[in-house]
A and B are shown apart, each in its own frame.
Chain A
Amino acid sequence: MKQGIKKTFRTVLCALCCALMCFSAVACNSNVFRFDEEELDKVMNEVLNTVDFTADESYAGTLRIVTNQEPDQITIMNALLGGFKKKYPSITVDYKNYPSAGYKDTLTNMNSACTLNGKYDTFPDVFWASNTDVTEYQSLDMLMPVDYFDGRDESFDFADLVKIMVDDCKVGEHVYLMPRDSDRMVMYYNKDFLAKAGVSEEELHPDRALTKSEFLALMEKCKNVKNDDGKDVSALDAFWNWESLLWPLLHAYGGAVVKEENGVTTSALNSPETLETYKFIKELNNKGYMTEGGTGNYWRFKNKLSVFLFGVRATLTDLAANVSNIGVVPMPNLHDDESRYFVGTGCSGYAMYRHAANPTAAWLFQKYVASEEGQNAISATGNNIPVLKKLFDDENAVWRNVTVNGDASFNHDAYIYEYDTASLTAQTGYRELIKPITAIKEVSKAFEDSIKYVLQNTTSSDYLDEKNGIPKFLRSYHRDINNAIKIASGN
């Protein structure tokens, strides 16, 4: 009897294991996938046929939106939804925010579950995404190519938006993200500290970018400022460990992170140009203008421990809340050659889920984000440079009329100085070259880590040393980038 039960139990267990294995295999095998352009056209035709392009303000439906839990994200979404709900009162919006830590993983895991189950209606129709995440999401077929909608909808045209931002949201030929803004690096300054250093605001030339020599002279003048508590204040807070800041400078010096030859991508980090770039940054440190690589979240500037900050518009309200007397000028040119002036530019936006259950409502929301009303609604939060090009020079546009701590003459023009010629996104000349795209995350990490370790681990005496200085780190991260590409390529 006992033997019989054991045997039965064993048989049942084996059968169960086999059944589960088969279930796993069948569940996943149904998703063997790769679209080529022709197939994508077909699939998108089917999707577009389900979308009501004649939908107007009376359209009734539901829409599920997700962002992360950053206070700025929630504020902006609430501002957008305020206007959107007024315009489309019959659309029921279910807005949720997921924890910022692991936000991306939460979405990709949800997508995996949806794909395994073949049921997509539990996934939000629209979700916030950064431009740097577009390729990753796209590789998992999570994003709807919204340029197809543009082709069908006569009331919308991507040509109305800032081109470089639209390009920033592309993977290959298609646009996968509706850009929300067109953010850009600028140089903020603490007016009180500037006065303490004996520098007038006119010396900063608010209407143009400082040249390299002017910038260095300014740093020299501001390096010995003390705050009200008698603590030393550094001249500059710049978070170099951030590709939006580092990449344009490297590009200005003629360097590159990766290069493509005969269709093969390899690292280009270990080059004399990169050495020159890193040398310049390290020397800012050696001369006492900044401590190490600056701080993430602009900690030094916000705590009144630096005179200047290389920052972006997206954090303006946060900075202004901490530094009452804040000013802004265009990003200085950190290269001797005036023609080598590049400024880090980027955006985030709202992606439509590839299998969105409510594509019409999702498209109406996407259009609203890029509309004049939507852009002005976001701009009212204070942290937005619009992506709608006509608002750049519109004196009545909300973003230009934002007052910062009561300062009505805040230099908003600094954010769009030489926009068309000097803007450089991480996509252009860098991320777009990385193939396969699954290597992007690790390549980007290696690139950002390289300057972090250079600034942290080299001294003013050995930073040019072959064995312990910048060359050592460049060799190391050059190898890491190549390895990342090789692993992603299946090596």
Chain B
Amino acid sequence: MSIGIKHNSSKGSVGVLSSSLPCKIKRRKYSKRMLRTSLQCWVFLIPVSVGMVVFAATPILMSLFFSFTNYNGAFISQIGAFNFKRLFDFSSVAGERFLNSMRVTFIYVIANMAFCTVLSYALALFLHRKMKGIGVVRLLFYLPCLIPGFISGFIYMAIFRYSASGTTGLINTWLLNLGLPQLTFFSAKSTAIPTLVFTSVFGLGGGMIMLLAAFSNIPPTLYEAARLDGAGYFKQLFHITIPLSTPIVFYNLVTSLIAGLQTFGTYAAYGTGPEEEFNFMAVEIYRMAFSYHNYGLACAEAYLLFVIVGLLSIIMFKFSGWVHYGDD
């Protein structure tokens, strides 16, 4: 029995009612209206919600569960935290291999991020000019981004192929014709990662397009004012262009970090590379699941990768003070 008036019961129940009965009626009316509105919202949300539960939440939770089992794709006979224990035991082969895959992944990610960020920025600066035919040049730089990763991988294999005594690739053929020694490219541990990073040159167009858009958004009045104040090209670059394009640089860094940590496309073209140099974390997860049918361990590795990606992303956002947003 609700007798009396509860003025603070909710924002909607206005406290001018003098008796409990009308108050109840008013509330009920209000609730019905709310319910009708909410119901409409929920009806519209159902397809997406069902999709999220079925295709996102369920696999996420199932893989979490599998990471605590020895699931082999069909059966489970053991449940516990043994997969994580194995991965953190670096004296075990699985732990050692996962650690190695982390090492090569981080080396690749850092080298790739630095290389691509600097070069795509330089390329964007170079192409941010009003020249006849610049659109065509931009298009040509962007075109390689449209080639699927694994296809371009086969192209790079043909270009950078090394063979001590057989058919060599395009570049080594040129080198041999010039009387120079061949380069090992993808075939030796010491040159495999640098070659892979170098092939990122062909994908610079993606970052370049984003940066060109960022440059276009910088108000020209700022450059005019700077010029009037006698600022040269480099002063404008360091005090206007670079600061105002940092949000896109930051975006490129975050996305390339996440993409780099999940590098997998290399597996189709180069396998695990010489002495497992291309055994990136995602590749290791794939091998564990589909070569060894140890889905449990693969899920545990995937969760570790998830935590690493999450932590590094948070760290990057924490240290993003150098990014100048429009309102700053």
Contact = CB atoms under 8 A, between A and B. Distances in A.
Given A487-B93, A488-B292, A455 B61 contact: no
Interface in B49-101: 53, 57-58, 61-62, 64-66, 69, 71-77, 79, 86, 92-94, 97
B20 interface: no
A439 B291 CA distance: 8
Interface string A291-329: 111000000000000000000000000000000000000
Interface in A20-40: 20-21, 23-25, 28-29, 31-34
B57 A111 contact: no
Contacts of A31: 74-76
Q: Which of A455, A459, A488, A490 has the most CB of B within 10 A?
A: A490
A441 interface: yes
Contact of B53 (A16, A25, A28, A490): A16
Contacts of B294: 438, 487-488
A415 B73 CA distance: 39
B195 interface: no
14 contacts: A28-B69, A28-B71, A31-B75, A109-B73, A141-B74, A141-B75, A292-B163, A292-B165, A438-B72, A441-B292, A449-B271, A457-B164, A487-B93, A491-B92
A111 B73 contact: yes
B164 A459 contact: yes
B293 interface: yes
Nearest to B188: A457
Nearest to A461: B164
A487 B94 contact: yes
Contacts of B206: none
Interface string A264-285: 0000000000000000000001
B293 A140 contact: yes
A20 B61 contact: yes
Given A139-B293, A291-B166, A291-B167, A17 B187 contact: no
A97 interface: no
A317 B184 CA distance: 38
Contacts of B79: 29
Contacts of B271: 449
Contacts, number: 123
Nearest to A295: B167
A441 B57 contact: no
B76 A115 contact: no
Given A24-B58, A24-B61, 5 more contacts: A32-B76, A33-B74, A33-B75, A34-B77, A483-B93
Interface residues of B, number: 45
Given A141-B75, A476-B275, A491-B92, A24 B65 contact: yes
B11 interface: yes
A229 interface: no
A140 B165 contact: no
B141 interface: no
Given A32-B77, A442-B287, A456-B187, A483 B72 contact: no
A483 B294 CA distance: 15
A21 B64 contact: yes
Q: Which 7 A-B pairs have the closest CB atoms?
A: A292-B166, A33-B75, A24-B65, A486-B93, A24-B62, A459-B164, A140-B74
A491 B77 contact: no
B292 A115 contact: no
A267 B174 CA distance: 40
A279 to B, nearest CB: 14
A115 B164 contact: no
Q: Which of B62, B165, B276, B292 has the most CB of A within 10 A?
A: B165
B4 interface: no
B108 interface: no
Interface of A: 1, 16-17, 20-21, 23-25, 28-29, 31-34, 105, 108-109, 111-112, 115, 136, 139-142, 285-286, 291-293, 438-439, 441-442, 445, 449, 453, 455-460, 476, 480, 483, 486-488, 490-491
B172 to A, nearest CB: 12
B293 A459 contact: no
A111 B86 CA distance: 27
DSSP class of A's interface residues: helix, strand, loop or mixed?
A: helix
A25 B66 CA distance: 9
Contact of A286 (B57, B71, B162, B165): B165
A367 to B, nearest CB: 27
A1 B10 contact: yes
Contacts of A115: 74-75
B237 to A, nearest CB: 45
B300 to A, nearest CB: 13
A240 B280 CA distance: 27
Contacts of A111: 73-74
Contacts of A476: 275
Contacts of A483: 93, 97
B92 to A, nearest CB: 5
A25 B165 contact: no
B135 interface: no
Nearest to A27: B62
Given A1-B12, A28-B65, A442-B291, A108 B73 contact: yes
B274 interface: yes
A441 B291 contact: yes
A16 B61 CA distance: 11
A458 B164 contact: yes
A286 B166 CA distance: 10
Nearest to B89: A491
B93 A21 contact: no
Given A112-B73, A292-B163, A25 B287 contact: no
A21 B65 contact: yes
Contacts of B62: 20, 24, 28
A434 to B, nearest CB: 12
A243 to B, nearest CB: 16
Given A111-B73, A140-B72, A476-B275, A457 B57 contact: no
Nearest to A21: B61
B274 A285 contact: no
Contacts of B76: 28-29, 31-32
Contact of A456 (B74, B164, B291): B164
A145 to B, nearest CB: 16
A491 B274 CA distance: 23
A141 B74 CA distance: 8
A82 to B, nearest CB: 35
B65 to A, nearest CB: 4
B11 A292 contact: no
